[in-house]
């Protein structure tokens, strides 16, 4: 029995699968990661290698710890004093959980895209310029050039080029999400952490974000949390299925979806399909 019949997906997907799988290069290495909130053991012995320039999809039932795992990756857990985090998360040779190095610089390696867009209360232009200035760029011409380039990168330039000084909040939610992505990319992250980035969007805006991710993985590593199984099938190069704070199964999406090994994943696929 096939749990998720990938053959019935769109031709576009079939095309996507033609590309031969290459050996993964690890960009982020997580070892023995445990997170507690007092006596609640939220993440349990997480060991995970995130492949470079791929889309890794984190799947699992509500409350299994996906968002907490993302928060560990950019040290957002530091902001929650009730969380005790142990283990290691290594990027570029630095264990970000146990380093005295510049935390904001480490955090800038990870761009975060949330469920709902959070544009800053300023103009479209200034939202993107803000990200560029965070990199220390002060030259006005260079900022202008980079604003355009980052808006082009998320496919928003043509839509906003004549209204750059209008408030970011005047954009549609889908456009705001792409603006936030442009602002995040302006900081030049290595990894995009996307926590259900299309859950607040209409189907067309969701498709735009999915297409963007497919293009952006040439230059960035993407870690995506989604509850939409078909989105996972469409985008994932690597799937991590979690339940109750643990990684239950992970691997190649074709194999994992067609031939789940555990009852937990079988149930999840049947319920979510």
Is residue 65 near ligand ATP by the rule CB under 6 A?
yes
Choose, by CB under 6 A, the member of 7, 20, 39, 62 that binds ligand ATP.
62
Is residue 37 near ligand ATP by the rule CB under 6 A?
yes
Is residue 121 near ligand ATP by the rule CB under 6 A?
no
Q: Which is nearer to ligand ATP, 49 or 78 (CB)?
A: 78
Footprint of ligand ATP on 181-220 (CB under 6 A): none
Residues linked to residue 57 through DSSP beta bridges, in sequence order: 224, 239
DSSP category for residue 167: B
State how far the Cα of 28 lies from the Cα of 31, in Å rounded to an integer. Answer: 10
From residue 72, how far is each of 35, 60, 77, 90, 197 by CA, in Å?
9, 17, 6, 11, 18
Is residue 84 near ligand ATP by the rule CB under 6 A?
no
From residue 175, how far is each of 39, 72, 110, 199 by CA, in Å?
41, 28, 21, 14
Is residue 64 near ligand ATP by the rule CB under 6 A?
yes
Is residue 164 near ligand ATP by the rule CB under 6 A?
no
Choose, by CB under 6 A, the member of 4, 28, 54, 67 that binds ligand ATP.
67
Q: Which is nearer to ligand ATP, 42 or 147 (CB)?
A: 42
Q: How many CA atoms lie within 13 A of 260 on its CB side?
A: 20
Choose, by CB under 6 A, the member of 11, 23, 39, 82 that binds ligand ATP.
82
Is residue 39 near ligand ATP by the rule CB under 6 A?
no
Is residue 83 near ligand ATP by the rule CB under 6 A?
yes
Taking only Cα atoms into account, the Rg of the chain, rounded to an integer number of angstroms, comes to: 19
Part of the chain binding ligand ATP (CB under 6 A), chosen from 11-19, 34-42, 213-221, 265-273: 34-42
From residue 166, how far is each of 7, 54, 56, 120, 121 by CA, in Å?
45, 35, 35, 12, 11
Part of the chain binding ligand ATP (CB under 6 A), chosen from 62-70, 99-107, 163-171, 262-270: 62-70
Q: Are 175 and 159 in contact (CB under 8 A)?
A: yes
Q: Which is nearer to ligand ATP, 59 or 185 (CB)?
A: 59
Q: Are 250 and 238 in contact (CB under 8 A)?
A: yes
Q: Which is nearer to ligand ATP, 15 or 82 (CB)?
A: 82
Which two three-digit tokens encode residue 94? 């630095």
Is residue 40 near ligand ATP by the rule CB under 6 A?
yes
Quote the Cα angle for 172-175-177, to 5°.
Answer: 110
Q: Give the residues lining the site for ligand ATP (CB under 6 A).
A: 37, 40, 42, 60, 62-68, 80, 82-83
């Amino acid at each position: 029995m096939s749990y998720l019949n990938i053959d019935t997906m769109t031709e576009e997907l079939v095309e996507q699968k033609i590309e031969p799988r290459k050996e993964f290069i690890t960009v982020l290495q997580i070892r023995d990661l445990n997170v507690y909130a007092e006596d609640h053991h939220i993440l349990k012995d997480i060991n995970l290698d995130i492949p470079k320039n791929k889309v890794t999809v984190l799947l699992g039932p509500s409350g299994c710890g996906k968002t907490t795992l993302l928060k560990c990756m950019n040290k957002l857990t530091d902001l929650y004093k009730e969380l005790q985090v142990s283990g290691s998360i290594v990027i570029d040779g630095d264990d970000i959980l146990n380093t005295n190095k510049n935390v904001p610089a480490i955090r800038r390696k990870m761009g975060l895209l949330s469920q709902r867009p959070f544009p800053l209360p300023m103009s479209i232009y200034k939202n993107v310029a803000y990200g560029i200035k965070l990199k220390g760029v002060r030259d006005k011409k260079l900022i202008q050039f980079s604003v355009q380039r980052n808006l082009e990168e998320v496919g928003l330039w043509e839509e906003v080029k004549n209204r750059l000084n209008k408030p970011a909040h005047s954009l549609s939610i889908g456009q705001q999400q792409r603006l936030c992505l442009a602002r995040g990319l302006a900081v030049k992250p290595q990894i995009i952490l996307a926590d259900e980035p299309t859950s607040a969007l209409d189907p067309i805006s969701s498709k735009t974000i999915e297409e963007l991710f497919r293009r952006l993985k040439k230059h960035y590593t993407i870690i995506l949390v989604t509850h939409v199984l078909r989105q996972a099938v469409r985008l994932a190069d690597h799937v991590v299925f979690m339940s109750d704070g643990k990684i239950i199964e992970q691997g190649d999406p074709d194999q994992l979806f067609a031939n789940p090994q555990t009852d937990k994943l079988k149930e999840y696929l049947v319920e979510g399909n």
